[in-house]
A = this chain, B = another copy of it.
């Protein structure tokens, strides 16, 4: 019954200075505290010296993990961490009315927290060069704290988590961002993490493995692949920015950058954003309507005997070879709270595709969002990118089952492409999981009339929705974080 402590106070969520100060940090492409050249040398060193050995093993050689003899579910003997279970999905959404699949069930909410601190008048974010067993390139930049509830309550039996006190002890920080956000609905059942940004004014010791960066430096790193991990990107997506300059002329046509900056105008108290095609209320009502018109029944079932999935000594895979495999790995690490362990991982069989079409409407950039369901989504549907798919698993399907607008994305000319990088998904649960993220600009000749599951929304509107849970899926949040690198 007892809550240990109240949340950190005072809070700065929604305070007018926050967006302005983060925008100032985004304008700083380098930092006197941690010049980019020094960061590069340090980060290359972290990667070169990473003592991290991950090898696939047979399920039978997992230590502490076993298949439940009755259900075939794969879980930890302590009953904690996560379990691989079966999920039966029935829905009238999409062309597959029913299917079963393995899914990761981890019914606890973790913390993804970034500490920020002002140096020379500029906010810096504190990131960690962190290894995860499933990481591409082993080391990626993660939030200051990236901890499951099992982690921070000590179920791992590991070392204390550095900097956790700034998120747990009242008075140590000012909360600037705080919201529960979902993770991959294809692979996780009802998973959310708490996305936090806290500002600290006291002196902060810089521990080994951590670095300070301006948001501008981080934005540059987002133009490299597999450097900024998914957890950092989702927290970053929740940070509000203010139009970096303006006001602009009202004449049209305006350039891409000007249209993007205008799109960042925040939603006002009546739910309207300047120049937006729809009000906030209309967008929420449309999403609600979409949820109401569809059916989604999720039921956990035994992993044993899941139709169309085959378990061998080394993997659980779909008989078509599509989607993903469940594998087991043995991990030896030099820089983690526990030096050696084994665990299951979910290994996608292909790189996914996440593309966001953007279009100026009356000089204000609009993002074409899709209301999407997913096997593990908690509240029927969330807003996702225009296109989100596994191209290989739909390639053999007829034309009417191809994702909408995939043809537009595939045919994009180089001058339309504002962002195009492959980025990693979470490396603690997924093995080498990645999506190709693209922001593609279409012209004013691209029709505003779209199918009913799509809507045109401004950046200011999605940023407002991110103060709440259940609106933006994690793939769209990654794209929003990268969109802010294209000012």
Query: Which residues in window 273-301 of A have CB below 8 A to B?
Result: 279-282, 284-286, 288-293, 295-297, 299-300
Interface size on A, residues (CB 8 A): 61
Task: Report if A54 contacts B (CB, 8 A).
Answer: no
Task: Report if A266 contacts B (CB, 8 A).
Answer: yes
Task: Report if A452 contacts B (CB, 8 A).
Answer: yes
Digitize A250-267: 1 where CB-to-B-CB distance is under 8 Å, 0 elsewhere: 000000000000000011
B180 touches A288 (CB 8 A): yes
Across-interface contacts of A266 in B (CB, < 8 A): 269
Q: Looking at chain A's contact residues, is the secondary structure mostly helix, strand, loop, or mixed?
A: loop
Copies in the complex: 2
Evaluate whether A107 and B194 lie within 8 angstroms (CB atoms) in the complex, with A7-B285, A95-B1 already known.
no
Kindly list 7 other residue pairs between chains A and B, CB separation below 8 angstroms, not including A14-B281, A284-B467, A300-B300: A3-B451, A4-B293, A175-B281, A178-B285, A281-B467, A379-B470, A470-B470
Across-interface contacts of A16 in B (CB, < 8 A): 270
B453 touches A11 (CB 8 A): no
Across-interface contacts of A453 in B (CB, < 8 A): 3
Across-interface contacts of A297 in B (CB, < 8 A): 107
Evaluate whether A271 and B14 lie within 8 angstroms (CB atoms) in the complex, with A284-B179, A288-B179 already known.
yes
CA distance A3 to B291 in the complex (A): 10
A292 to chain B, nearest CB (A): 5
CA distance A146 to B478 in the complex (A): 39
Task: Report if A227 contacts B (CB, 8 A).
Answer: no
B1 touches A281 (CB 8 A): no
Residue from A270, A280, A289, A290 having most chain B Cβ neighbours under 10 A? A289
CA distance A286 to B11 in the complex (A): 10
Digitize A1-18: 1 where CB-to-B-CB distance is under 8 Å, 0 elsewhere: 111111101010111100
CA distance A267 to B267 in the complex (A): 13
CA distance A292 to B14 in the complex (A): 21
CA distance A272 to B11 in the complex (A): 12
CA distance A94 to B111 in the complex (A): 23
Task: Report if A51 contacts B (CB, 8 A).
Answer: no
Task: Report if A67 contacts B (CB, 8 A).
Answer: no
A289 touches B7 (CB 8 A): yes
Across-interface contacts of A470 in B (CB, < 8 A): 379, 469-470
From B7, B268, B281, contact of A286 by CB (8 A)? B7
A-B complex: 6 closest residue pairs judged by Cβ atoms: A13-B281, A14-B271, A3-B452, A178-B285, A7-B289, A14-B281
A1 touches B271 (CB 8 A): no
- Nearest B residue (CB) for A109: B292
A1 touches B468 (CB 8 A): no
B300 touches A299 (CB 8 A): yes
Query: Which residues in window 72-127 of A have CB below 8 A to B?
Result: 93-95, 107-109, 111
CA distance A292 to B15 in the complex (A): 23
B288 touches A108 (CB 8 A): no
Across-interface contacts of A318 in B (CB, < 8 A): none
Task: Report if A484 contacts B (CB, 8 A).
Answer: no
B295 touches A107 (CB 8 A): yes
Task: Report if A380 contacts B (CB, 8 A).
Answer: yes
Task: Report if A46 contacts B (CB, 8 A).
Answer: no
CA distance A180 to B288 in the complex (A): 7
Query: Which residues in window 290-316 of A have CB below 8 A to B?
Result: 290-293, 295-297, 299-300
From B11, B149, B452, contact of A281 by CB (8 A)? B11
CA distance A179 to B292 in the complex (A): 11
Task: Report if A378 contacts B (CB, 8 A).
Answer: yes
From B94, B149, B378, contact of A1 by CB (8 A)? B94
A279 touches B178 (CB 8 A): no
Residue from A95, A267, A268, A469 having most chain B Cβ neighbours under 10 A? A469
- Nearest B residue (CB) for A401: B1
